[in-house]
């Protein structure tokens, strides 16, 4: 049977306490609660070194001494929770202090241990419980984010429907997706590639001519008599395709970058039509003057 590896970071400045945790986790007669689990323990003696370790490696759980030197009460817990919201954190103390325990749970602790009378069963139970609580919280947050994304897509779709009658009068009854499906797919591919470039630009701080490509794209859509509804349909369909089979974090990045890109594309399309109608009005005036003369 394959065991689930749980990588634990122990932040503890007392070697006696560190040895206790090591003994309880790797006992020759392991707790029955450890069935299906294996553990990897890294011990760090200061909160500063702990933060450095969290930056350099990935851990499933942190065991944190609330009485570390140079760290007041739950301050270390708050800092870890702010910078590493996805990690499980179990705090512990040598003595009972109800006030600090309440503060710890209020500030994001997933579990609490009192060192006195601590045994292997209690430690493993708290580790499993903390991971389950963190997993439930992440699942809940993921559902909430997905619901928010769907709400945003629905709002964009509603906005697209509001423009339908105007679109029908100005540009024809059919959308680009309906009248030119192959070209619409090409536009989706181009827009999707620009989203990837936007993510790369954000992650690696490189510069890509995204705005230039968006302007070119808007001009092409203008020549095809695209409407605001077409822009919104292009945006929402591309995002739905890009968000298939990606992590929640990457899906959120696509949505965040997409908000800016769709506004920029819409702006360029508006600018195209403004220039087009100004040019057309100038031509009509010139023609009228020529006929009068």
CATH number at residue 12: 3.40.50.2300
Question: Does residue 157 lie within any of the structural domains?
Answer: no
User: What pLDDT is attached to residue 204?
Assistant: 83
52 and 130 share a domain?
Answer: yes
Identify whether residues 29 and 129 lie together within a single domain.
yes
pLDDT digits (tens, 9 = 90+) for 161-202: 655 444 444 555 578 999 999 999 999 999 999 999 999 998
Residue 1: the pLDDT is 52
The dihedral region occupied by 222, where left means phi > 0, alpha psi between -120 and 50, and beta the remainder, is alpha
DSSP 8-state secondary structure symbol assigned to residue 32: G
Percentage of the chain lying above the pLDDT 90 cut: 41
Average pLDDT, the chain: 84
Note whether 36 and 74 are same-domain residues. yes
Query: Which domain-ending residue is among 100, 120, 136?
Result: 136
- How far the first Cα of the chain sits from its last, in Å, is 95
Same domain for 184 and 118: no
- 168 and 247 fall within a common domain: yes
- Does this model's pTM top 0.75? no
**Pick from 16-20, 35-39, 56-60, 246-250: least confident:** 246-250
Residue 142 covered by a domain = no
Residues 17 and 122 in one domain: yes
Position 207 scores a pLDDT of 92
The answer as to whether 277 is a domain residue is yes
In the structure, what pLDDT confidence band is assigned to residue 137 with cuts at 50, 70 and 90?
A: confident
149 in any annotated domain: no
Q: Are both 31 and 131 inside the same structural domain?
A: yes
In this structure, are 175 and 281 located in the same domain? yes
Output the six-digit token pair for 178. Answer: 């309906």
CB count within 10 Å of CB 48 equals 13
Q: State whether 107 and 197 are in the same domain.
A: no
Domain holding 222: CATH number?
1.10.1240
Residue 288 pLDDT class (50, 70, 90 cuts): low
**Do 232 and 160 meet the contact criterion of CB atoms below 8 Å apart?**
yes
Rounded CA-CA distance 63/10 in Å is 5
Lowest mean pLDDT among 11-15, 22-26, 87-91, 273-277: 273-277
The verdict on residue 156 lying in a domain is no
For residue 161, the model assigns a pLDDT of 62
Q: What's the confidence (pLDDT) of residue 293?
A: 55
In a shared domain, residues 244 and 169: yes
Q: Establish if 49 belongs to a structural domain.
A: yes
Residues 65 and 174 both lie in one domain: no
**Residue 225: partners with Cβ closer than 8 Å, 6 or more residues away:** 171, 172
- Predicted pLDDT at 285: 47
Q: How many domains does the chain have?
A: 2
Residues 177 and 284 in one domain: yes
Which residue range forms the structural domain that includes residue 176? 163-292
In a domain, 144, yes or no: no
| Residue 208 within any structural domain of the chain | yes
Range in 75-84, 109-118, 221-230, 244-253 the model is least confident about = 244-253
């Amino acid at each position: 049977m394959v065991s689930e590896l749980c990588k634990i970071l122990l932040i503890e400045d007392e070697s006696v306490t560190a040895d206790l945790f090591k003994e309880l986790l790797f006992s020759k007669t392991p707790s029955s609660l450890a069935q299906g689990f294996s553990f990897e323990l890294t011990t760090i003696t200061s909160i500063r070194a702990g933060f450095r370790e969290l930056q350099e490696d990935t851990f499933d759980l942190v065991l944190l001494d609330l009485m570390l030197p140079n760290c007041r009460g739950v301050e270390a817990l708050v800092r870890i929770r702010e910078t590493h919201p996805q990690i499980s954190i179990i705090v512990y103390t040598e003595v009972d202090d109800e006030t600090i325990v309440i503060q710890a749970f209020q500030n994001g602790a997933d579990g609490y241990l009192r060192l006195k009378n601590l045994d292997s069963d209690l430690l493993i139970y708290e580790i499993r419980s903390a991971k389950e609580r963190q997993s439930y919280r992440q699942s809940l947050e993921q559902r909430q984010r997905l619901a928010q994304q769907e709400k945003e897509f629905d709002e964009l779709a509603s906005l697209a429907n509001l423009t339908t009658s105007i679109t029908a009068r100005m540009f024809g009854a059919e959308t680009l997706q309906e009248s030119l499906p192959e070209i619409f797919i090409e536009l989706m591919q181009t827009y999707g590639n620009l989203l990837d470039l936007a993510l790369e630009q954000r992650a690696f701080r490189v510069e890509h001519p995204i705005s230039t490509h968006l302007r070119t794209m808007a001009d092409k859509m203008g020549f095809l008599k695209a409407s605001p509804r077409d822009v919104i349909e292009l945006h929402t369909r591309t995002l739905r395709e890009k968000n298939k089979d990606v992590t929640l974090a990457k899906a959120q990045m696509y949505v965040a970058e997409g908000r800016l890109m769709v506004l920029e594309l819409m702006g360029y399309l508006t600018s195209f039509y403004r220039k087009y109608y100004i040019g057309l009005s100038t031509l009509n005036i010139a023609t009228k003057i020529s006929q009068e003369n």
